């Protein structure tokens, strides 16, 4: 059996993100939501969260140690001179450190504060994951897992996904054709003539490298950039290393994860590749739908960069009728959380 949790990250970042996630939930495409409790639009989105949870949508904490302002006071290491978090690059460098007692104290304090903030609203925390995957870094993983166990949070995300052609189920191989898709030269040679303009199938077709599988549209044959692959490899490796911590604490995770290499690339043709080759078991698909700012939106501060065309394109993919059609085509069952006994 193939089961899928579609999890939308960054709820609370701004009104544009909240609006996009709400549209995807209403369409039945998103089954779980992760919440930035220090986001500027967190309070405004609370009425939605309670209603979603009553309808069966899973709501989780999107633990943030990198952007915006912390909830805990007096952080000695994580906060900068202005009292705010130090940004993605600086936070990741800090969290790669091991055996840093002051850092661990900061993470404990901030994790507890963010858990308390979400719980005091009446929301049950169904899962925990990290903004920019901070929760799997070696400086944070043990602390975060221990906090989740203390508070009875049943599931933590492990963003470990295949990055090479060893797993044919995901087009995330290194450039040069070692992954699922053919090298650029082969793509050029195998490209079929484009159809006439206006034809919905006008995109050229590309065959999978060394495979007899069906052809896929040209726009699904664009490999991730080297920088995206490096980042995906970092997160995936750290997640794999953190897996024993979850097992020891009795905290669940999904069998599989997809989304690192879909960043800024999500499309229906690419999703068809992912869904067609999805392995049996439970997979989490991480998405980031949003909307572009309107005249009434106040988008500023550290989360302002989130309201981009990439987010709106992700939303369009999730809202397309073909999205649910692909799930049906490949017999994938949408769920919100791991089922008892599975």
Give dist(CA 334, CA 278) in Å, integer: 13
Residues 227 and 121: beta-carbon distance below 8 Å: no
- Catalytic residue, candidates 9, 106, 126, 291: 9
Cα-to-chain-centroid distance, residue 139: 21
- Residue 181 makes CB contacts below 8 A (sequence gap 6+) with 171, 173, 187, 206, 208, 209, 221, 223
Token pair, residue 269, equals: 């043709």
Token pair, residue 113, equals: 């504060």
Q: In this structure, what are the phi and psi dihedrals at residue 254, rounded to the nearest 5 degrees?
A: -80, 165
Q: Is 9 a catalytic residue?
A: yes
Q: At what angle do helices 141-150 and 226-249 cross, to 10 degrees?
A: 40
Token match 């959380």: residue? 337
Q: In this structure, what are the phi and psi dihedrals at residue 338, rounded to the nearest 5 degrees?
A: -55, 140
| DSSP 8-state secondary structure symbol assigned to residue 225 | P
**Positions marked catalytic:** 9
């Amino acid at each position: 059996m193939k089961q899928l949790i579609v999890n939308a990250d960054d709820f609370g970042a701004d009104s544009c993100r909240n609006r996009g996630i709400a549209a995807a939930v209403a369409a039945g495409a998103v089954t779980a939501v992760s919440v930035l409790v220090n986001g500027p639009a967190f309070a405004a989105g609370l009425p939605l969260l309670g209603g979603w949870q009553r309808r069966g949508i899973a709501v989780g904490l999107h633990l943030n140690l990198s952007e915006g302002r912390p909830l805990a006071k007096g952080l000695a290491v994580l906060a900068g001179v202005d009292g705010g978090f130090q940004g993605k690059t600086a936070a990741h460098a800090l969290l790669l450190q091991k055996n840093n007692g002051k850092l661990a104290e900061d993470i404990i304090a901030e994790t507890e504060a963010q858990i308390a903030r979400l719980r005091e609203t009446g929301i049950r925390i169904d899962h925990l994951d990290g903004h920019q995957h901070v929760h799997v870094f070696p400086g944070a993983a043990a602390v975060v897992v221990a906090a989740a166990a203390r508070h009875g949070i049943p599931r933590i995300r492990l963003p470990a996904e295949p990055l090479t052609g060893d797993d044919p189920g995901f087009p995330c191989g290194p450039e040069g054709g070692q992954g699922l898709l053919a090298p650029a030269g082969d793509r050029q040679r195998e490209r079929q003539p484009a159809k006439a303009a206006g034809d919905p199938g006008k995109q050229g077709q590309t065959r999978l490298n060394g495979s007899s599988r069906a052809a896929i549209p040209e726009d699904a044959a664009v490999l991730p950039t080297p920088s995206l692959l490096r980042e995906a490899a970092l997160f995936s490796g750290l997640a794999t290393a953190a897996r024993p911590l979850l097992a020891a604490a009795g905290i669940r995770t999904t069998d599989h994860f997809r989304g690192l290499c879909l960043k800024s690339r999500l499309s229906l043709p690419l999703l068809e590749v992912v869904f067609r080759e999805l392995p049996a078991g439970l997979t989490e698909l991480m998405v980031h739908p949003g909307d572009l700012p309107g005249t009434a939106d106040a988008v500023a501060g550290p989360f302002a960069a989130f309201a981009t065309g990439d987010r709106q394109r992700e939303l369009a993919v999730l809202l397309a009728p073909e999205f649910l059609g692909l799930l049906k085509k490949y017999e994938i069952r949408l769920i919100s959380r791991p089922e008892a006994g599975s």
